[in-house]
């Protein structure tokens, strides 16, 4: 293939080079004039080109232009957002032109990967979002910018802590084990994760490639969808300085979601349990009185939270001349979390350059963004035991312990049990965790037009990441079993070098009714990842923290790692249209990955699509209802290779420490991976049928898509019988289907001089079904994600992987009730009064593990977003609702609050004295705690954002140099309509860093609660 590419270059070179300009057979005259908009305002930066030539210019700040042209030529005036006009010169020397604004959204240019295309010519399913579609408010990440705004993409908060992550799914979950996040392509650079490295305010547009035809050009990385991010560029002829300042405040929406027991309830309930157990009561009536009198009741949740704040400053400067444009930006964003000691800051700079040379035959460009982020965090993984502040509160904190532990009298300490209690908030104070990350993303390209329409482009880029994580746990800390021991400091350094080269040839030609756009290319991307960790403990002081590891008497074992992966690809695409009526797209990509097994190094990804612009047919003329009707169909194959390196090879690791003399350690070498030479990518075959409809001159726009996606050869860890001595190998088995419908409706309800009202509605439906799954002998399903939330609960699986049901289906028992005194139960003869009774799902008259059933599912079936934007003169009001329907969450906080006697749910415990109690006296034993009592409906409708802005009349105020001055205020997450009883239904706690959210989403366990946010800001444009 590489050789073929070179052959093509050779042909291009042999053909010679284009002629410059036109031979001067016809007399040139000087033409000047002014280009205005429909209101008569001069338009700067309009491209004025002589038809069929390379001669042209750009209008100045006032919209004026001057050009030498042949006297019989035609001029083409074009400008983004306006209808292009062609005017015959006709021997005139002054030609003034008014351009009509282009209200038809369909004329937008859409970035499609290795090129652009007019939206009206698209044959694939692509969602395109511009600045006007982005969310407003305290936006810290790209994901927040587009959450809820378009169809087919689910973005939900994983953890609402500052700098926290999101779960993103384009058209559902394809894979059980592979990462299902889409890939991101930032200014042509593909990357697996954004990691908060992109400044949202630098973004000009975001495109989501959803179907196979659109995504196949990204081959083995296209199956999860592709999110293309394009940053802002300078514009010719204008200098703009934009400055935006924002301040926001965050409060936790509903801390009252959980009712904690007060001192009296807690102690009396504890006594009750002890009494029934025949044990000694811990709290005498006198002591309870004293505790209440001295300490009242502390609500530790309220003690732990504060108001959060965000500050955002963004500066953007754009300028350009005819041949060169530059965009420069600098930004600062800071968020103080609602839990003390959680904070996220980002500092950005960006410079984007564009230079044209040699009569625009040659274009150079460079896009560079540098980002530095700093995150202070606490453990919000459920497994972080005592480093998770919410775990301390739900499982440990006692209400009679006052939040003034340094300030207790001897008598008070005696009353508290003789020892000074440890503050449940110790986590906040005792541990310091910080992460600093630096990202440099730089892409440069050179593009050469060899012949008219034939362009050759080389693009090189790199993304350098240098991240450090620091941790120190104070010596006095009582936190045990955290990631650090008391008095331990650790430093981790992760680096990656992601290097890209791309060469593409593009040929565009229009011959009468035939339009052709051909692309061929080669890409090579290499990622080198390195990590290093060192630490020490036994410091003589807390002062040094992690800043001087050599001060610790005992160094902890250092570790380091390095991995490399290479992806080499050949890509091609042909787009053909006939008469602006019939559209055809063929795409083919061939990918070779170092991660694949030796027998399966190369993968092919073909796709095809057709489009039919029905409204351009003769039979459609004369009707005025349908201004646009395009039918689309596509079919193709994409892949996913998002698994770790080193899974295909048999390996040994020198990583088995042991001491054989009791003093010194030696490092043993052990077989670590049983290789699989056949390991390959997952393969997704997708069919998409779509229709784009415009009604009443496109005042109403409707987009409709139906898709069926089958993902095959799933990457799975195949468990091996333990007797083989290896736990598992990675192999390709299984199939998942996603099918769905997406509807997007946009309506200009009112458009008048002073008032406009636009409504945008998007609805997505996705249905997921496991079609085939690798099963051990004799079993009908696999257990999915499992969990051990606290010591008292047994580790138990809570989801199931089974043919015919959606991925991430919750799985457990159904509670029938509690056995009352004097009763026995036929199904559970061993049950004693107070024990939970369960439904006999399999009808075999005993209660066993076979009586578990499907209790719900963690991924929503329906997503919707509704935006109304009202404009009156200089005021703009928008309100945006988003909704998630048919989803469930396991609220484990409540179960823990009952087990640990901390929440009101503890009062629902059955005892002989409270026979009306619905929760079993001796708790659910074993794995029975995973039952339908945990499952809650997580559907919600949220007033996600409401924003009001006002453009000050700068002209009237005499601020000559100010083009625009906008004041705005917005509120996010203002109100949520839901039946969910926890903090918020949009939650997906990670149990630990390796929790698989494809099969383990939808758990609420000590997660950082989502906040309401109020923001005010000012935007100035000079």
Partner 1 sequence: MKYLKIKILSILLALTFVSCENDLTEELKGSLSANTLVSESDARALVDGIYNQMLTGGWFYYGSGQMVKLNDGITDVMVEGRTSNLEQYHWTESHADMVWSSAYVLINRANTALELIEGMDESRFASPGAKAALMGEALFLRSLAYFDLTGLFGAVPLRLEATKDPDELPGRTPIGQVYAQLITDLETAATDLPPVQDGVGKATRGAALTLLAKIAFRQKAWSSAEEYIDQVIDLGVYDLFQGQYGELFYESNRKDNEFIFVVMSLGAEYNKSNHHIKFFTPWGYDTGWSETGVPLQIYNMLDPSDARNDVIENDLSGAYYAYVRDYGTAADWKGFALLTKYSGFRRDVTAPNSIWANYASSALNQPVFRYADVLLMKAEVENELNGPTGIAYDAINAVRDRAGLEGLPTGLDQAAFRTSILNERALELVGEGHRKDDLIRHGVFESTMTQYLVDQNYPNPVTVTQDYRVYPIPRQELDLNPNMEPNPLNK
Task: Encode 498-534: b = buried (16+ Cβ within 10 Å), e = exposed.
Answer: bebebbbbbbeeeeeeebebbbbbbbbbbbebeeebb
Give the distance, in angstroms, between the CA of residue 544 and the centroid of all CA atoms in the same chain.
Answer: 37
Which tokens hold the place of 707? Answer: 């898709």
Q: What is the rounded CA–CA span in Å between residue 500 and residue 206? A: 21
E strands, 71-130, are: 74-78, 85-88, 97-98, 109-111, 116-118, 126-130
| Residue with smaller CB distance to partner 1, 718 or 771 | 718
| Residue with smaller CB distance to partner 1, 524 or 748 | 524
DSSP class per residue in 226-254: EEEEEE----TT--EEEEEEEEEEEEETT
| Residue with smaller CB distance to partner 1, 649 or 914 | 649
| Residue with smaller CB distance to partner 1, 257 or 528 | 528
Q: What is the rounded CA–CA span in Å between residue 283 and residue 631? A: 75
| Residue with smaller CB distance to partner 1, 813 or 983 | 813
| Residue with smaller CB distance to partner 1, 31 or 715 | 715
Contact 837, 725 (CB under 8 A): no
Q: Which of 197, 25, 210 is nearest to 112 (CA)?
A: 210
144: exposed, middle or buried (Cβ count in 10 Å: 0-12, 13-18, 19+): buried
Q: What is the rounded CA–CA span in Å between residue 664 and residue 661? A: 6
**Tokens 């087919």 map to which residue?**
152
347 Cβ neighbours under 8 A, 6+ residues apart: 331, 332, 371, 372, 373
Please report how close the Cβ of residue 378 comes to partner 1 at its closest, in angstroms: 21
| Residue with smaller CB distance to partner 1, 478 or 513 | 478
Please report how close the Cβ of residue 363 comes to partner 1 at its closest, in angstroms: 12
Q: Is 547 in a helix, a strand, or coil? A: coil
| Residue with smaller CB distance to partner 1, 29 or 413 | 413
| Residue with smaller CB distance to partner 1, 353 or 568 | 568
| Residue with smaller CB distance to partner 1, 23 or 776 | 776
Please report how close the Cβ of residue 778 comes to partner 1 at its closest, in angstroms: 6
Q: Are strands 203-209 and 815-818 parallel, antiparallel or unpaired?
A: unpaired
Please report how close the Cβ of residue 516 comes to partner 1 at its closest, in angstroms: 22
Q: Is 73 in a helix, a strand, or coil? A: coil
Q: Is 699 in a helix, a strand, or coil? A: coil
| Residue with smaller CB distance to partner 1, 177 or 349 | 177
Which tokens hold the place of 275? Answer: 């009494």
Please report how close the Cβ of residue 830 comes to partner 1 at its closest, in angstroms: 7
Please report how close the Cβ of residue 389 comes to partner 1 at its closest, in angstroms: 21
Please report how close the Cβ of residue 279 comes to partner 1 at its closest, in angstroms: 11
Q: Which of 688, 484, 676, 669 is nearest to 585 (CA)?
A: 688
Please report how close the Cβ of residue 906 comes to partner 1 at its closest, in angstroms: 21
| Residue with smaller CB distance to partner 1, 418 or 822 | 418
Please report how close the Cβ of residue 300 comes to partner 1 at its closest, in angstroms: 22
Per-residue CA distances from 605 to 349, 591, 632 (Å) = 37, 8, 20
Please report how close the Cβ of residue 505 comes to partner 1 at its closest, in angstroms: 9
Q: Which of 127, 162, 683 is nearest to 377 (CA)?
A: 162
Please report how close the Cβ of residue 653 comes to partner 1 at its closest, in angstroms: 5
Per-residue CA distances from 507 to 574, 575, 605, 633 (Å) = 9, 10, 22, 24
Please report how close the Cβ of residue 444 comes to partner 1 at its closest, in angstroms: 13
280: exposed, middle or buried (Cβ count in 10 Å: 0-12, 13-18, 19+): exposed
């Amino acid at each position: 293939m590489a050789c073929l590419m070179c052959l093509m270059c050779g042909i291009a070179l042999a053909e010679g080079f284009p002629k410059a300009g036109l031979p001067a057979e016809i007399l040139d005259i000087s033409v000047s004039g002014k280009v205005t908009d429909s209101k008569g305002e001069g338009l700067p930066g309009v491209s004025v080109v002589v038809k069929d030539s390379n001669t042209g210019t750009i209008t100045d700040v006032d919209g004026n232009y001057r050009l030498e042209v042949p006297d019989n030529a035609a001029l083409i005036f074009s400008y983004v957002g306006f209808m292009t006009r062609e005017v015959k010169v006709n021997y005139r020397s002054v030609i003034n032109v008014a351009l009509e604004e282009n209200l038809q959204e369909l004329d937008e240019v859409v970035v499609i990967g290795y090129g652009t295309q007019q939206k009206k010519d698209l044959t694939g399913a692509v969602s395109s979002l511009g600045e006007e579609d982005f969310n407003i408010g305290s936006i810290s990440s790209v994901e927040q910018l587009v959450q809820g705004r378009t169809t087919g993409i689910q973005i939900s908060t994983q953890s609402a802590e500052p700098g926290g992550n999101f779960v993103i799914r384009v058209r559902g979950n394809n894979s059980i084990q592979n990462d299902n996040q889409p890939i991101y392509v930032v200014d042509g650079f593909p990357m697996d994760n954004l990691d908060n490295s992109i400044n949202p305010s630098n973004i000009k547009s975001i495109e989501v490639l959803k179907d196979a035809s659109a995504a196949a050009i990204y081959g083995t990385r296209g199956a999860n969808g592709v999110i293309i991010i394009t940053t802002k560029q300078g514009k010719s002829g204008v200098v703009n300085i934009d400055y935006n300042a924002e301040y926001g405040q965050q409060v936790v929406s509903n801390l009252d979601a959980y009712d904690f027991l007060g001192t009296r309830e807690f102690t009396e309930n504890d006594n009750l349990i002890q009494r029934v157990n025949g044990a000694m009561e811990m709290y005498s009536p006198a002591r309870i009185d004293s505790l209440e009198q001295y300490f009242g009741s502390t609500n530790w949740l309220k003690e732990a939270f504060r108001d959060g704040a965000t500050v955002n400053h963004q500066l953007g400067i754009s300028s350009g001349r005819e041949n060169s444009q530059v965009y420069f930006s600098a930004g600062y964003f800071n968020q103080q979390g609602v839990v003390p000691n959680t904070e996220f800051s980002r500092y950005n700079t960006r410079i984007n350059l564009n230079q044209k040379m040699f009569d625009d035959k040659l274009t150079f460009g460079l896009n560079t963004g540098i980002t530095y982020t700093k995150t202070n965090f606490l453990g919000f993984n459920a497994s972080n035991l005592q480093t998770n502040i919410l775990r301390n509160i739900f499982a440990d904190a006692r209400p009679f312990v006052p939040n003034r532990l340094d300030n207790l009298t001897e008598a008070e300490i005696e009353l508290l049990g003789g020892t000074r209690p440890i503050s449940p908030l110790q986590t906040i104070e005792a541990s310091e965790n910080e992460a600093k990350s630096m990202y440099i993303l730089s892409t440069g390209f050179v593009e050469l037009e060899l012949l008219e329409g034939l362009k050759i482009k080389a693009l090189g880029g790199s993304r350098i990441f240098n991240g450090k994580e620091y941790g120190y746990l104070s010596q006095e800390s009582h936190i045990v079993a955290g990631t650090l021991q008391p008095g331990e400091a650790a430093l981790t350094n992760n680096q990656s070098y992601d290097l890209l080269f791309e060469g593409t040839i593009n040929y565009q030609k229009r011959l009468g009714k035939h339009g052709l756009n051909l692309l061929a290319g080669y890409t090579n991307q290499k990622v080198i990842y390195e990590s290093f960790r060192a630490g020490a403990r036994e410091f003589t002081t807390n002062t040094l923290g992690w800043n001087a590891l050599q001060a610790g008497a005992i160094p902890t074992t250092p570790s380091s790692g390095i991995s490399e992966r290479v992806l080499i690809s050949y890509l091609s695409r042909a787009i053909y249209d006939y008469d602006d009526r019939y559209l055809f797209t063929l795409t083919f990509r061939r990918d070779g990955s170092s991660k694949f097994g030796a027998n399966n190094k190369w993968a092919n990804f073909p796709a095809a699509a057709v489009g039919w612009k029905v409204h351009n047919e003769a039979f459609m003329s004369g009707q005025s209802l349908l201004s646009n009707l395009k039918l689309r169909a596509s079919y193709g194959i994409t892949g996913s290779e998002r698994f770790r390196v080193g899974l295909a090879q048999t390996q040994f690791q020198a990583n088995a420490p042991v001491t054989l003399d009791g003093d010194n350690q030696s490092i043993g070498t052990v077989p670590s991976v049983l290789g699989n030479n056949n390991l390959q990518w997952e393969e997704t075959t997708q069919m998409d049928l779509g229709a784009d409809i415009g009604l009443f001159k496109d005042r109403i726009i409707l987009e409709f898509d139906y898709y069926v996606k089958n993902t095959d050869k799933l990457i799975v860890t195949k468990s091996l019988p333990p007797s083989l001595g290896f736990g598992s190998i990675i192999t390709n088995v299984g199939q998942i289907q996603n099918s769905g419908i997406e509807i997007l409706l946009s309506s200009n309800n009112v458009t008048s001089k002073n008032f406009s009202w636009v409504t945008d509605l998007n609805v997505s439906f996705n249905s997921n079904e496991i079609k085939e799954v690798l099963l051990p002998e004799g079993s009908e399903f696999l257990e999915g994600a499992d969990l051990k939330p606290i010591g008292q609960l047994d580790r138990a699986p809570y989801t199931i992987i089974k043919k015919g049901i959606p991925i991430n289906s919750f799985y457990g028992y159904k509670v029938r009730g509690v056995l009352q005194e004097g009763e026995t139960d036929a199904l559970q003869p061993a049950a004693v009064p107070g024990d939970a009774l369960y439904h006999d799902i399999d009808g075999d008259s005993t209660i066993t593990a076979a009586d578990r059933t499907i209790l719900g599912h963690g991924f929503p079936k329906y997503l919707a977003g509704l935006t109304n934007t009202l404009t009156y003169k200089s005021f703009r009001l928008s309100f945006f609702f988003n909704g998630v329907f048919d989803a469930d969450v396991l609220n484990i906080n409540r179960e823990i609050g009952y087990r640990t006697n901390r929440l009101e749910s503890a009062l629902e415990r059955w005892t002989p004295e409270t026979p009306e109690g619905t929760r079993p006296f001796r708790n659910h034993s074993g794995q029975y705690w995973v039952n339908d009592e945990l499952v809650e409906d997580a559907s919600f409708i949220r007033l996600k954002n409401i924003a009001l802005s006002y453009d000050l009349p700068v002209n009237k105020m005499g601020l000559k140099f100010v083009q625009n001055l906008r004041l705005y205020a917005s509120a996010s997450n203002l109100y949520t309509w839901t039946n969910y009883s926890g903090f918020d239904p949009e939650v997906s706690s990670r149990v630990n860093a390796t929790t698989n959210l494809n099969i383990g989403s939808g758990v609420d366990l000590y997660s950082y609660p989502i906040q309401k946010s109020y923001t005010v800001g000012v935007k100035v444009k000079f």
